[in-house]
Amino acid sequence: MPVNVATSPSEVRVLIVDDSVVVRDILKRMLESDPAIRVVGMAANGGEAVELTAQLRPDLVTMDLVMPGMNGMEATERIMAFHPTPVLFFSSYFDREGMYSRLDALAAGALDIIEKPTLMPDSRWEALAAALIEKVKVLAQVPVVTHMHGGQVFTRPRARARVAAVTSPAVDVVAIGASSGGPRVLEEILSALPPAYALAVIIVQHMAEGFMPGLLQWLQQRCPLPVRVAEEGEVILPRRVLFAPDWAHLVVQPEGRVHLSAGDPVSGHRPSVDVTFTSLAKVYGTRAAGMLLTGMGSDGAAGLLAIRQAGGATLVQNEDSCVVFGMPRAAIELGAAQHVLPPSGLIRSLKAFHGERLRALTQ
């Protein structure tokens, strides 16, 4: 259990957990290539991880999944129950047969997951260095609280005050963009919608390749609406939830059809929220609504502005309920957000859109 406790107050203090000494050394070199990050300890299994988290109180823990003795999932549950600390999983074993899913990791209290390259040495290690460093610096700032196994995960206490709903009688389609922390908020929102929801729902969730099947299965068990991946050329219709696939941009085409594009990343992502929002604004105009949830970076801000400029409704998740406030903050700073609401307010707004749409159809 190597320990290094001498750090500057401004440094991000990281505990690395992995049963491979080679991986631990690679991660240490990668992270400490940024002068703002200091690795304060390294653990070879879950038991050591729990012990060192209590001893060192790092700003963030990078966690492997498969380790001898206590695995990463059990260690995360114990850390979140007794010494709440941001946890970033770094593993290639999620969603394999007989293994935990990525959604299990989020439910245990982890904030995000990065896919570990399976070969060493491998060029992908160098390619992921910048993304890993960015995630570590951002997620280390996320305040977490005690999470008992089987309970709900909170990053901050949520506002309990009742929030007025946003109304817009013209809305036919609502598009939602999310990144880090998105699955939990999406589950909260989608599970609250009625089974005959009168609007079409399109979602772009940033995720690693291979994450989508587990996410959809998880949401299908909780959402009264059909939830699936969008297909090329299909018509966008109410009473269903369509996700952009993890390999393509979802472009809304004239006459309300889906086009899937494997073009270059936009705003650093494919699928990109900006691509979907911008195309939605062009086709639906005042009949569109855009909603931007928790996430890192600024993807979706420009697209949300396009929806607002086209006369559509625009909403973003408020800071207190976000795991990472990057995407909503970027939209607010750009002047794209008409309404800033907690999940409860976003849900009430979606239900208000539903009610107005039903009234419009009966007139």
Distance CA 244, CA 135 (A): 23
Instruction: Examine domains 12-139 and 173-362 and report if their fold is the same.
Output: yes
19 a catalytic residue: no
Q: Tens place of pLDDT for every residue, the chain, 363 residues?
A: 666 655 556 899 999 999 999 999 999 999 999 999 999 999 999 999 999 999 999 999 999 999 999 999 999 999 999 999 999 999 888 867 667 888 888 878 888 888 888 766 566 777 788 889 999 998 998 877 565 554 444 444 443 444 556 766 689 999 999 998 899 899 999 999 999 999 999 999 998 777 788 889 889 999 999 999 999 999 999 999 999 999 999 999 999 999 999 999 999 999 999 999 999 999 999 999 999 999 989 999 999 999 999 999 999 999 999 988 999 999 999 999 999 999 999 999 999 999 999 988 887
Whether residue 58 contacts residue 12, with contact meaning beta carbons closer than 8 Å, is answered with no
Respond yes or no on whether the N-terminal peptide bond of residue 169 is cis (omega within 30° of 0). Answer: no
Token code pair at residue 164: 């007025």
What CATH topology corresponds to 12-139?
A: Rossmann fold (3.40.50)
18 a catalytic residue: no
Based on the number of CB atoms within 10 Å of its own CB, is 363 exposed (0-12), middle (13-18) or buried (19 or more)? exposed
Whether residue 148 contacts residue 270, with contact meaning beta carbons closer than 8 Å, is answered with no
Residue of 299, 321, 344, 349 marked active site? 299
272 a catalytic residue: no
Residue of 168, 179, 344, 349 marked active site? 179
Domain boundaries defined on the chain: 12-139, 173-362
The CATH architecture one would assign to domain 173-362 is 3-Layer(aba) Sandwich (3.40)
Residue of 147, 206, 249, 269 marked active site? 206
Token code pair at residue 23: 């991986």
